[in-house]
Amino acid sequence: MDRPKLKIIDVAWPNAIALRLPGRKPTVAVTRGLLDRSDDERLDAVLAHELAHIAHRDAAAMTVALALSTSLALAPMAILAPIMALEVPLCRAARWCGRRPWKPATEDDDFPMPPPRQEVPVVLAVIVVPPLLAARTLVFVLLLGLGLVLVPPMLILALPAAGIIARLGRYRELAADRGAAELTGQPAALAAALTALEAGGPAIPTKDLRELRTMASMTIVALPKDAKDTGTDTVSRLLDRMMASHPPLAARLDRLAALSRGLGR
């Protein structure tokens, strides 16, 4: 494994992130809050966790998995999009024949429709417009029929696909915990670090939360949820658990405790 770069993010949120962009050296970023609140043992444990992510190539694995799940969920659009695009040349042809009302549903602002042609021969309009109208009607019928057939499976697949990605992310977090414990030989240090980091979440400034929300899935502990985004009913709690990017702290601590017993520490 290439020796990673170390960077410091100047925010009060105590956390760490491992990044590896294609063709570049891996990077481990730690926040100023983590440096201020961690002793040497806990900091070593956190860095070992991030090194485990890099060694396991977790960023690449999650990127590929996300791309595959997104492609599967959006596959119907690969069929519907070309049919939707057929409406544009039909509308252009109709406007060339002087038909004012024709405007495609998917008009691109960068390529606006031309103004209707003036003084079009009646014979041309009578000959050309009816086939254009029939073709446009056929496009709408195809879109409606295929939409009814393809869109429901797309919606049905989207939720399980997101759940599978989240589950994979939780599994890789547990694997990184194990790798860090084996690398340092001190599972208890990582357990203490996770507990401290989790406890520090509610104190994160709102500004830091907004800026770092996009990196939440790559951090060693998850960002705390906004109160307005946290549901209280059974379905909301089930969805939150299903879509969680990180395992529950209790589950991570239990596994680390088992590792600690196995190592006799």
Tens of pLDDT, residues 113-134: 777 777 777 777 778 888 888 9
Contact 208, 11 (CB under 8 A): yes
Of 42, 53, 49, 43, which is closest to residue 188 (Cα–Cα)?
A: 42
Pairing of strands 16-19, 27-31: antiparallel
Residue 176's pLDDT is 93
Ranges 122-136, 159-173, 214-228: which has the least confidence: 214-228
Residue 165's pLDDT is 87
Is pLDDT of 227 > 60? Answer: no
Please name the residue that has the structure tokens 């060339």: 96
CA 61 – CA 58 distance, rounded (Å)? 5
**Confidence label for 171 from pLDDT (cuts 50, 70 and 90):** very high
Is pLDDT of 263 > 90? Answer: no
The angle at the Cα of 22, spanning 6 to 252, to the nearest 5 degrees, equals: 60
Q: Which residue has the higher pLDDT, 110 or 153?
A: 153
- Across residues 16-37, what is the average pLDDT? 85
Of 55, 58, 54, 50, which is closest to residue 190 (Cα–Cα)?
A: 50
Of 28, 41, 58, which is closest to residue 185 (Cα–Cα)?
A: 41
Q: Which residues, 6 or more positions from 263, have their beta carbon under 8 angstroms from its beta carbon?
A: 181, 185, 187
- Across residues 43-49, what is the average pLDDT? 93
| Predicted TM-score (pTM) of this structure | 0.70
The per-residue pLDDT for range 83-107, each reduced to its tens digit, is: 888 888 888 888 777 766 677 777 6
Residue 191's pLDDT is 92
Percent residues over pLDDT 90 in the chain: 18
Is pLDDT of 22 > 90? Answer: no
Residue 224's pLDDT is 64
- Across residues 136-147, what is the average pLDDT? 88
55-80 b/e (C-beta count within 10 Å ≥ 16 → b): eeebbeebeebbeebeeebeebeeeb
Is pLDDT of 152 > 70? Answer: yes
Q: Which residue has the higher pLDDT, 217 or 147?
A: 147
Q: Which residue has the higher pLDDT, 108 or 7?
A: 7
Residue 264's pLDDT is 64
CA 236 – CA 224 distance, rounded (Å)? 16
CA 118 – CA 136 distance, rounded (Å)? 22
